[in-house]
Amino acid sequence: MRLRRLMSCATLALALVGASSAAHAVTEIFWWHSMAGALGDRVNAIADKFNASQTEYKVTPVYKGQYAESMTAAIAAYRAGNAPDILQVFEVGTATMMSAKGAIVPVYKLMADAGEKFDPHAYIGPVAGYYSDTSGRMLSMPFNSSTVVLYINHDLFKKAGLPDKVPATWPEVGEAARKLKASGAACGFTTGWQSWAQLENFSAWHNVPFASKENGLGGLDTRLEFNGPLQVRHISELANWAKEGLFTYAGRTDEPLAKFTSGECGMIMTSSGSYANIKATAKFSFGVGPMPYYPDVKDAPQNAIIGGASLWVMSGKPAQNYKGVAKFLAYLSTTENQIAWHEGTGYVPITTAAYEAVKKSGFYDTHPGFEVATEELLNKPPTANSRGLRLGNMVQIRNVIDEELERVWSGQKTAKEALDSAVSRGNEILAKFEKTSG
């Protein structure tokens, strides 16, 4: 009898404790991202600062692997009813996320419902435009945006007797590569992310279409058009350079960076986000410049299109989570946080206010080359060919382009054959996407 009394008292006490702690429970918000290494540390720092600044919400960043793996995991989790609140999706996944009606909560709606201040015009044009629908409403929150730049190895340039400036045009790049090879460098020019750098951004930079319907921003019935005369000319030129040994192909994504940081290649065209990596690992002085262009093309250089990723909000979570998500997204866009993120990583500042503030602080004078990416994005007001890309199943299309380009570098196909084949294979993929999203 005594024991039973004791037990019931203990149970009541426990229940009371449990109930009171439930009333003050912190709402946990899960953020799945793909920022590895030093970038991941920065992400954790941002979340910690947010958590410390208030007591209602706790943002927990989770590193889920690279962009493609993380997106696959999130899709599987969503289908199992277990999606994260915030998901970082790379720019090529935008069309897939946008057409997933019901699976995502558009950011403009989220911010409006939560009563958070949100002005799409605060974001720089190319960044906002990429992630907005045709009515100009932003569907995802830009986070880390980069674009393609040209890095050069100053030491190898000096050895080859080349002037100390970054080549501005493609003929100049060819000349530099020749002199570099003649002076004994192992490789003259290489490129990372060949589809993004040599076709997608190349088309925007020269104001020629990559795909119809404003590169897909205008409708689901877009079809590929990157086998135009200028792109064929450019890929043929690179193929000739490959034969001459001036251009060394070293991989589809980020692998070629190792050839540059090791001092083998004198020039590399790759993401501006690699700046931090190069600074840390290269044992030589390096320079940064904008993408080269063909001077005989009328509108070149136009403006660059972004790469990187944005943050999407998944649907199906409890209502109170969304207030916290809105608060956190507003926190990320404050000028102070934007400045810290940009200066620490090499990703571009995504708000105009942050960009102006960094300029005023003189940061760009002490860090030459840091501003190149932003200048490329803002070079000229975007045209229908340079506002961005929005193609469904873009990961698969990039695989197709990579495969066809590899056939060009190995001499199996001419540039025209490869690009025509890539366009027709890609169009089948787009047609399938249109069918499944219609």
Interaction between residue 264 and other proteins (CB under 8 A): yes
Closer of 72 and 240 to other proteins (Cβ): 72
Cα gap 274→369, rounded to integer Å: 12
Interaction between residue 288 and other proteins (CB under 8 A): no
Tell how strand 307-314 and strand 104-105 pair up.
antiparallel
Judge contact between 285 and 154, C-beta under 8 A.
yes
Closer of 161 and 316 to other proteins (Cβ): 316
Closer of 171 and 251 to other proteins (Cβ): 251
Closer of 250 and 268 to other proteins (Cβ): 250
Interaction between residue 249 and other proteins (CB under 8 A): yes
DSSP conformational letter for 119: -
Preceding peptide of 301 cis, ω within 30° = yes
Number of residues forming the site for other proteins (CB under 8 A): 40
Interaction between residue 416 and other proteins (CB under 8 A): no
Q: What is the smallest separation between the CB atom of 238 and other proteins, expressed in angstroms? A: 13
Interaction between residue 230 and other proteins (CB under 8 A): no
DSSP conformational letter for 291: P
Interaction between residue 252 and other proteins (CB under 8 A): yes
Interaction between residue 424 and other proteins (CB under 8 A): no
- State which of residues 34, 70, 96, 203 lies at the interface with other proteins (CB under 8 A): 96
Q: What is the smallest separation between the CB atom of 35 and other proteins, expressed in angstroms? A: 20
Site string for other proteins, 125-144 (x = CB under 8 A): --------------------
Interaction between residue 335 and other proteins (CB under 8 A): no
- State which of residues 75, 77, 122, 282 lies at the interface with other proteins (CB under 8 A): 75
Judge contact between 264 and 337, C-beta under 8 A.
no
Scanning 8-16, 26-34, 297-305, 427-435 for contacts with other proteins by CB under 8 A, the matching segment is 427-435
Scanning 38-46, 160-168, 369-377, 405-413 for contacts with other proteins by CB under 8 A, the matching segment is 405-413
Q: Report the first-to-last Cα separation within the chain, whole angstroms.
A: 69
Closer of 334 and 412 to other proteins (Cβ): 412
Q: Which residue has the tokens 């934007």?
A: 338
Query: Which residues touch 152 (CB under 8 Å, ≥6 apart)?
Result: 166, 167, 176, 266, 267, 286, 287, 289
Interaction between residue 5 and other proteins (CB under 8 A): no
Cα-based distances in Å from 345 to 69, 87, 304, 415: 22, 20, 19, 36
CA-based max dimension of the chain:
98
Scanning 97-105, 117-125, 334-342, 375-383 for contacts with other proteins by CB under 8 A, the matching segment is 97-105
Scanning 119-127, 171-179, 268-276, 404-412 for contacts with other proteins by CB under 8 A, the matching segment is 404-412
- CA 277, 278, 283: angle at the middle one, nearest 5? 130
Closer of 284 and 293 to other proteins (Cβ): 284
Interaction between residue 434 and other proteins (CB under 8 A): no
Cα gap 418→194, rounded to integer Å: 14
Cα gap 35→308, rounded to integer Å: 11
Closer of 75 and 340 to other proteins (Cβ): 75
- With the C-alpha atoms ordered 137, 140, 143, 149, is the resulting torsion angle positive or negative? negative
Interaction between residue 200 and other proteins (CB under 8 A): no
Scanning 93-101, 275-283, 335-343, 357-365 for contacts with other proteins by CB under 8 A, the matching segment is 93-101
**CA nearest 350: which of 186, 123, 153?**
123
Cα gap 140→424, rounded to integer Å: 30
Tally the residues of the chain. 438
**CA nearest 34: which of 254, 288, 295, 357?**
254
Closer of 389 and 429 to other proteins (Cβ): 429
Subset of residues 339 to 398 that bind other proteins, contact rule: CB under 8 A? 393, 395-396
Cα gap 266→245, rounded to integer Å: 13
Judge contact between 342 and 359, C-beta under 8 A.
no
Query: Which residues touch 336 (CB under 8 Å, ≥6 apart)?
Result: none
Interaction between residue 283 and other proteins (CB under 8 A): no
Closer of 11 and 72 to other proteins (Cβ): 72
Interaction between residue 243 and other proteins (CB under 8 A): no
Give the bridge partners for 224, in sequence order: 211
Q: Which residue has the tokens 């199992």?
A: 80
- State which of residues 77, 103, 276, 340 lies at the interface with other proteins (CB under 8 A): 103
Interaction between residue 409 and other proteins (CB under 8 A): yes
Binding site for other proteins (CB under 8 A): 68, 72, 75, 78-79, 96, 99-103, 242, 249-252, 258-259, 262, 264, 393, 395-396, 399, 402-404, 406-407, 409-410, 412, 425, 429, 432-433, 435-438
